[in-house]
Structure 1
Amino acid sequence: MSKATPAYLAIAAELRAAILAGDLAAGAKLPSETQLMAQHGVSRTVAKWAISVLKGEGLVDGRAGSGVYVRDARRLVRHAHGRDMRAGAGPTSPFARDTARAGQQGTWEHDSRREEADARIAGRLAVDPGAPVMRTAYRFLADGEPIQLSTSYEPLHLTGGTAVEWPEDGAAVGVVARMDAIGVHVDEFVERVSLRAALDTEVAALALPARASVLTIERTYYAAGLPVETADIVLPGGRYDLVYRIPVD
């Protein structure tokens, strides 16, 4: 840390490194505010801020009357380079593949409904505002713990009346495999990754601490340049590694 680094961030960085290295294992109790004050020669406010940083990252939890403890910090690796896997090559759900690689059981909840595209989604799907779309909201769980949210949109002029109109009701699972089933060959996807504070609804749905941060991914699948699905994905900041493999022609 440079001399200009605020003391609370330096303390948080030291504790974070110990957690990620396994020196402070899942379930271990963090030094108390009083102990941090003594160890680093700082005020209680600085010690409190340092712990708040780790809480916001989802690395630790406070237990009333007991202290602050390291959460199970197992990270799920999202392998974007293999996310266009087709039927016959293993699970076609990207989330199912990611959790299987991690030795975890992946499950999800979903709610699909027909809606009209607002201006934002219409622009991403290259349709007119008000065009009919299938909207599906997902909550994904790894070993029963909520770990990802996603809301996807598909243009019903493409999927309406087909066997894959309702994303979770057909034989095929995953955007690429489902589009293959109706003769639409997905050949590209684009992702835009950002970091922001979690919304209250996301804090509740993902069981996050207050003031947590989340990664957001705006993803769109294309077939010969035509957008066929777009989604807003929300990941807890401290629970995911994003891995991208980009071919160089």
Structure 2
Amino acid sequence: MAAADLAQYRQFADRIRQRILAGEWKPGSALPPPEELAREGGCDLAVVEVALRELAVEGIVEGRMGAGVYFTGLTRRAVTRVMQPGGGSVAPAFEDGRATAYTHETTTVTADRHVAQRLAVDIGADVMRTTYECTSGGRPYALITSWEPLHLTGGTPIVFPEEGPHAGKGVLARFAAIGLPAIRVNEDLVPRGVTTDEARLLNVARSALVTVVERTVFGAEHPLEAADTVLPAGVVQPHYITRPDA
């Protein structure tokens, strides 16, 4: 495909995303036929078809045999992150309260340079890594990797984030339970291209972009956790709510 054609279909796909975000189509509703979308957009039918295939790969729309193309309901101002140092949640959740699920895997690894810098530990220090694959309606929407320093959690009830008496309670509540309350949460939003593994797990195109939310949770003396949340751009987007301390 020529560069001009590639740019045109991506622009058309972006316009469809914006119309969806604006609420023009409700989840489960049919989009206009491709021929009508082409007339409205002033572009070739081939451009529309390629753009719709791209959106289908991202999970935004789905084709139904003999029935047209439908909006799945996945794309919207989707992920809310509540920022409240010392309490609240920093986990992603859909702001409309839709049901979500996740799978996880926890293992002990050694810190590479990137993780060591964020956790203020030596390169090669033992850390507990937990990876999460998050889904909504069976569709993947986020990948999370969390690292916690074992010199703080080893031998405590929270050493395994998803096991024990504090399983699944979130990093702020878990560390507070062992006398290490969080005093600050830093997050950086980093746009980049998707990796091959991320594209496979998120079911997006190899050319897709992602937003990585790089989070570090700090205690009074040591960083408590570092985590990266990978969100497919155009499918979900982070939305922040700040709750000031009373």
- Tell me the SS of whatever aligns to 2:83: helix
Structure 1's 197 and 30: CA in aligned 2 closer, same or farther, altered over 3 A? farther
Q: What amino acid does structure 1 have at the position aligned with 2:239?
A: L
Q: Tell me what 2:119 maps to.
A: 125
Closer/same/farther in 2, CA of residues 231 and 45 from structure 1, 3 Å limit: same
CA distance in 1, matches of 2:127, 2:30: 48
1:81 alignment counterpart: 83
Work out the CA distance in 2 between the residues paired with 1:209 and 1:10: 16
2:19 matched to 1:25?
no
Q: 1:1-249 counterparts in 2 under 5 A? A: 8=9, 11-48=12-49, 50-51=51-52, 54-55=55-56, 58-62=59-63, 67-73=68-74, 75=76, 76-82=78-84, 84-85=86-87, 94-95=91-92, 98-99=93-94, 102-172=96-166, 173-237=169-233, 238-245=235-242
CA drift of 1:199 comes to 2.2
In 1, distance between residues paired with 2:38 and 2:161?
A: 54
Residues 73 and 192 (structure 1), Cα distance of their counterparts in 2 relative to 1, 3 Å cut: same
For the 8 Å contact 1:58–1:209, the answer to whether it is kept is: no
Aligned residues: percent identity? 36
Distance 1:168 1:210, change over 3 A: same
TM-align CA RMSD = 3.1
Give the deviation of 1:83 after TM superposition. 7.1
The Cα offsets for residues 188-229 of structure 1, whole Å up to 9 and x where unpaired, read as 011110222322322332333553332211111101252111
Evaluate the alpha carbon distance shift between residue 175 and residue 38 of structure 1 in structure 2; reply closer, same or farther with a 3 A threshold. closer
Amino acid at match of 1:106: T
Q: CA deviation at 1:234?
A: 0.9
Q: How far apart in 2 are the matches of 1:26 and 1:213?
A: 23
Shift of the 197–66 alpha-carbon distance from structure 1 to 2, 3 Å rule, reads farther
Whether the 8 Å contact between 2:172 and 2:182 is mirrored in structure 1 is yes
Structure 1: how far apart are the matches of 2:189 and 2:131?
A: 19
TM-score by length of 1: 0.77
Q: Work out the number of aligned pairs and report it.
A: 235
Contact 2:8 2:47 in 1 (8 A): yes
Distance 1:17 1:212 in 2: 17
Q: Which moved more, 1:72-81 or 1:223-232?
A: 72-81
- Which amino acid counterpart does residue 122 of structure 2 have in structure 1? D
Structure 2 stretches lacking a partner, 5+ long: 1-6
Tell me the alpha carbon deviations over residues 97-132 of structure 1, each in whole angstroms, 9 at most, x when there is no partner.
Answer: x35x63333332111111111111111111111111
Task: Calculate the TM-score normalised by the size of structure 2.
Answer: 0.78
Distance 2:70 2:137 in 1: 20
- Deviation of 1:35 after TM superposition, in Å, equals 3.7
Q: Structure 1 residues 217 and 19 mapped into 2: Cα distance closer, same or farther (>3 Å)?
A: same
Report SS of the residue matched to 1:127.
coil
SS in 2 for 1:201: helix
User: CA offsets, 1:31-69, max 9 Å, x none?
Assistant: 455444444443345434554664576532355776543
